[in-house]
Amino acid sequence: MNAITSAPAVQTVHVPLAERAYDILIGPGLIARAGAEIASRLKGRKAAVVTDENVAPLYLEALAASLDAAGIVSAEVVLPAGEKTKSFEHLMTVCDRVLEARVERNDCVIALGGGVIGDLSGFAAGIVRRGVRFVQVPTSLLAQVDSSVGGKTGINSRHGKNLIGVFHQPDLVLADTDVLNTLSEREFRAGYAEVAKYGLIDKPDFFTWLETNWKSVFTGGFARIEAIAASCQAKADVVVADERETGQRALLNLGHTFGHALEAATAYDSRRLVHGEGVSIGMVLAHEFSARMNLASPDDARRVERHLKEVGLPTRMSDIPGELPPAETLMEAIAQDKKVKSGKLTFILTRGIGQSFVADDVPASEVISFLREKHA
């Protein structure tokens, strides 16, 4: 990628999934245009807007006004904020409210929020009436570049994160970049970890571009839109090639196996660790583990850590406030997240920057030894 000098006000990334194809619109002012964009694509004229207590005061009124102006009657479901909302209890609340609003199959559920709201709302949309239309209006950087794209929905279980859910593609994604200006620095940094992930998977030039341009991505403008569009295009390409994660789509989990284990170890307490921070640490661990297995140079792991640390992300388990459970407990979470087969695990490892691959024969003994070393 080259230096950013100009860009259209709104960029469109198309996800060509035959009859499930949809557009991702990226740029400023999209919440104000949401009603018109939805009405031009969907036949239904009812919507259930699902959001949380943090986002609702900021954007719910504007979204409702946009829907009303387009002739779409909307009902509102406002949930508590936080990872713990991805539960059966709140799933049932959303399903009941969607049915109370008499949302039919051609109508839609709209997720207005971050990844938690998107995952939960998409799951509800996928199972109510055996599937209703679904629109994502992601309000965090992490959701705009990752969780709002690709159709993976779900809730958490006491056994682990995102273990219960369905694939249910959205009909439209509206990534309004104006909303990112209200994010805290910590939230924006956490989302940036997912942006960097796309470079580390298979786009080394993008990662190099980020190393040079990350400050402009943080301050906003053309560079931010370009980074989000590049991330969405990268994910769309993977999703189209492997919609239901039977093979290469697993590459999108780079850093997530370790990261999910760390989230579970902190009981999903956002005061200690949020998802993007877990992914940041997890990506460093994945590169270090790859070096340990003689797959990649230790220099690559150091380069990844240097960049993530420069933007202000945690890169070590010791960066997480408070005590962590022993390595054996972390290993239990990893075994649940990525099933053990004949004593071996599936991990996303790397042969270098932008050279990630699916390794389905990683010895569990090597992982537990590595965790003990990093936990010390």
The answer to whether 287 is annotated as binding is no
CA nearest neighbour of 191 among 166, 216, 170, 217? 217
Annotated active-site residue in 156, 162, 213, 253: 253
Per-residue HEC secondary structure of the chain comes to: CCCCCCCCCCEEEEECCHHHCEEEEEECCHHHHHHHHHHCCCCCCEEEEEEECCCHHHHHHHHHHHHHHCCCEEEEEEECCCHHHCCHHHHHHHHHHHHHCCCCCCCEEEEEECHHHHHHHHHHHHHHHHCCEEEEEECCHHHHHHHCCCCECCEEECCEEEEECCECCCCEEEEEHHHHHHCCHHHHHHHHHHHHHHHHHHCHHHHHHHHHHHHHHHHCCHHHHHHHHHHHHHHHHHHHHCCCCCCHHHHHHCCHHHHHHHHHHCCCCCCCCCHHHHHHHHHHHHHHHHHHCCCCCHHHHHHHHHHHHHCCCCCCHHHCCCCCCCHHHHHHHHHHHCCCECCEEEEEEECCCCCEEEEEEEEHHHHHHHHHHHHC
Annotated active-site residue in 46, 203, 235, 287: 235
Number of residues assigned to the chain: 376
Annotated active-site residue in 37, 211, 245, 366: 245
- Respond yes or no: is residue 235 known to be catalytic: yes
- Respond yes or no: is residue 288 known to be catalytic: no
The answer to whether 323 is annotated as binding is no
The answer to whether 208 is annotated as binding is no
Annotated active-site residue in 76, 194, 226, 305: 194
The answer to whether 82 is annotated as binding is no
The answer to whether 76 is annotated as binding is no
**Which residue type does 359 have?**
A
The answer to whether 328 is annotated as binding is no
- Respond yes or no: is residue 133 known to be catalytic: no
Q: Quick check: 121 and 97 in contact, CB under 8 A?
A: no
The answer to whether 117 is annotated as binding is yes
The answer to whether 160 is annotated as binding is no
- Respond yes or no: is residue 307 known to be catalytic: no
Annotated active-site residue in 260, 307, 338, 374: 260
- Respond yes or no: is residue 168 known to be catalytic: no
Annotated active-site residue in 46, 90, 97, 152: 152
The answer to whether 140 is annotated as binding is yes
The answer to whether 275 is annotated as binding is yes
Annotated active-site residue in 249, 287, 292, 374: 249
Annotated active-site residue in 19, 130, 185, 323: 130
Residue 207: half-sphere exposure toward Cβ, Cα within 13 Å: 22
- Respond yes or no: is residue 256 known to be catalytic: yes
Annotated active-site residue in 133, 275, 287, 338: 275
- Respond yes or no: is residue 249 known to be catalytic: yes
- Respond yes or no: is residue 130 known to be catalytic: yes
Q: Which residues are catalytic?
A: 130, 152, 194, 235, 245, 249, 253, 256, 260, 275
Residue numbers in the known binding site for NAD(+) are 115-119, 139-140, 152, 161
- Residue ranges of the annotated binding site for Zn(2+) are 194, 256, 275
Annotated binding site: 115-119, 139-140, 152, 161, 194, 256, 275
